[in-house]
Structure 1
Amino acid sequence: MSYAIQWLRSLIFVGQMYVAMLVVGVLYLPAAIVSRHGAIAACHAYVRYVRWSAGWMIGLKWEIRGEPPTDEVMVAAKHQSFMDVLAIYGAIPRGKFIMKAILKYAPIIGQFGLRIGCIPVNRGKRGAAIKTMLADVKAGRALPGQLIIYPQGTRIAPGVKAKYKIGTGLLYRELGQPVVPVATNAGLYWPKRGIYRTPGTVIFEFLPRIETGMEVPEFMHQLETDIEDACDRLNAEAGFHG
């Protein structure tokens, strides 16, 4: 019975979360049109709302550990669910994502994503997209902020191992920015698919930054080790041993 009640609460939460996205998008639309800062304010307001509503509706909270960056860095994060998109963005001042190109056509998400500086990338054409992005950065056209990238390229369930893609290493080398790894156990509570949300406290941990100057293979090894070891530790802390 308790599972059924939590499932129903989760269903209501998910539904109202998307309604709230529409409401926030409409309310902040004039400000977003006038200024990028208006779009950023809208996104942060939405994150705060989801965090608040998740706490009392489904008993799900999140905790930020470590030091979220405020300077010009790359943020390389473990991706397990939509929750980590919200939490990581909400923890930093001017986040922007490398996102699937198809998302730019999505209502609200696409328009606000482009407005805050997200970079659309076509699947299968990531090499060309990276070159375009690098050119934009060097020409001064890219908006300042913290570039959030998912090294594995997609959502990965807790305990599942998947390859870290070389694009993160190429960006690290070409942009010449430090990288802040982020670990999480979000997938234990907010899965990649499905309605049910498990009550508890999700951890998002900003790990020590990886400074510039490393060779790409060495950087990729350290990034994967740092994130995976921290995720295993956070999973174990939550009682999961996969």
Structure 2
Amino acid sequence: MLILRSLLFNLLYYVNIVVWMVAVLPTFALPRRVLLRAVKAWARTNLFLMRHVAGITCEIRGRENIPPGPLLVACKHQSVWETFALFLVFDDPCYILKRELMWLPLFGWLAAKQRMIAVDRGARSRAMRQMQIDGRRQLADGRQIVIFPEGTRRAPGAEPAYKYGVVYLYSEFGVPCVPVALNSGVFWPRRQFIRRPGRLVLEILPPLAPGEDKAAFFDRLQAVIETASARLLAEAGAQPADVAALGTGENERESA
């Protein structure tokens, strides 16, 4: 049954993506906010499919921890799930993503319309500078800049691999940083076909005020996200053997 439900969910999920991408093409001639509303609606249909096909319910905790105004959001990254779910958590998120995604037909066009920040991870210092410039423009519009501090998806329980990019942006932007923990990788594992039923939880943690020492911020950010994520993994019933089955967390090196 688990295999059949996973198969049906995956099929419907990808069909849903294609249908929505084609359906929103006319929004290119309209204000960006029109497309944003469509993206939020698409995200809701994904949650509907997760609940009613894959048997995964989703809980968002800590919304009261989101301060008003422009923000830097540092989110744990275990699954595809958070790449769309954060649209339903924050008012107008702007993702930092790798430049290659902008080359994809339809998706890249839509991401450009939403003014996502594309990063050439091979450029290093130049990429950091471009992130800072583009990020300031989006913050000026009151948006929330979303970065995955580890740069790529990591298996639940994998050794943390936080990158310097989040520290650089925190020091340059001068806005609060909102840490986000989750356990999505237990239910929607990276590079796996199976979707495991259960309660997926995303927790928004208290914001870190701007102006903190860089080293102290880096240590504190990692500590609060990893501690909360470990608690959510335990809450999901993930045992060490289960975590090992979801992958070692090793992935290609990425510098953002």
What range describes the TM-score normalised by the shorter chain of this pair?
Answer: over 0.9
Question: Which amino acid in 1 is paired with 2:60?
Answer: I
Deviation at 1:41, TM superposition (A): 1.2
Q: Say whether the 8 Å CA contact 1:117–1:143 is kept in structure 2.
A: no
Deviation at 1:89, TM superposition (A): 2.2
Q: Helix, strand or coil: the match of 2:96?
A: strand
Alignment partner of 1:16 is 2:30 = no
Q: Helix, strand or coil: the match of 1:217?
A: helix
Give the direction of change, closer, same or farther, for the CA distance of 1:230–1:138 in structure 2 (3 Å limit). Answer: closer
Q: Helix, strand or coil: the match of 2:58?
A: strand
Q: Helix, strand or coil: the match of 1:177?
A: coil
Deviation at 1:140, TM superposition (A): 7.4
The gaps in structure 1 that reach 5 residues or longer are: none
Q: Say whether the 8 Å CA contact 1:28–1:38 is kept in structure 2.
A: no
Deviation at 1:125, TM superposition (A): 1.9
Partner of 2:53: 57
Q: CA RMSD in A?
A: 1.8
Deviation at 1:109, TM superposition (A): 2.4
Question: Which amino acid in 1 is paired with 2:90?
Answer: I
Q: Say whether the 8 Å CA contact 1:87–1:204 is kept in structure 2.
A: no
1:148 alignment partner, one of 136, 146, 149: 146
Query: Aligned partners of 2:29, 2:192: CA distance in 1, in Å?
Result: 34
Query: Aligned partners of 1:222, 1:43: CA distance in 2, in Å?
Result: 33
Deviation at 1:126, TM superposition (A): 3.7
Q: TM-score, normalised by structure 1?
A: 0.92
Alignment partner of 1:195 is 2:180 = no
Q: Say whether the 8 Å CA contact 1:72–1:144 is kept in structure 2.
A: yes
Question: Which amino acid in 2 is paired with 1:39?
Answer: L
Question: Which amino acid in 1 is paired with 2:166?
Answer: T
The gaps in structure 2 that reach 5 residues or longer are: 241-256
- Range that drifts further, 115-124 or 56-65: 115-124
Structure 1 stretches of 4+ moved >3 Å: 136-144
2:112 alignment partner, one of 114, 118, 136: 114
Query: Aligned partners of 1:138, 1:191: CA distance in 2, in Å?
Result: 33
Alignment partner of 1:30 is 2:62 = no
Query: Aligned partners of 1:153, 1:125: CA distance in 2, in Å?
Result: 15
Q: Alignment identity in percent?
A: 36
Q: Helix, strand or coil: the match of 1:99?
A: strand
Query: Aligned partners of 2:116, 2:138: CA distance in 1, in Å?
Result: 15
Q: Helix, strand or coil: the match of 1:62?
A: strand
Q: Helix, strand or coil: the match of 2:229?
A: helix
Q: How does 1:87-166 map to 2 (within 5 A)?
A: 87-138=85-136, 144-166=142-164
Question: Which amino acid in 1 is paired with 2:15?
Answer: V
Aligned residues: 238
Q: TM-score, normalised by structure 2?
A: 0.88
Q: Say whether the 8 Å CA contact 2:6–2:193 is kept in structure 1.
A: yes
Query: Aligned partners of 1:180, 1:27: CA distance in 2, in Å?
Result: 33
Question: Which amino acid in 2 is paired with 1:78?
Answer: K
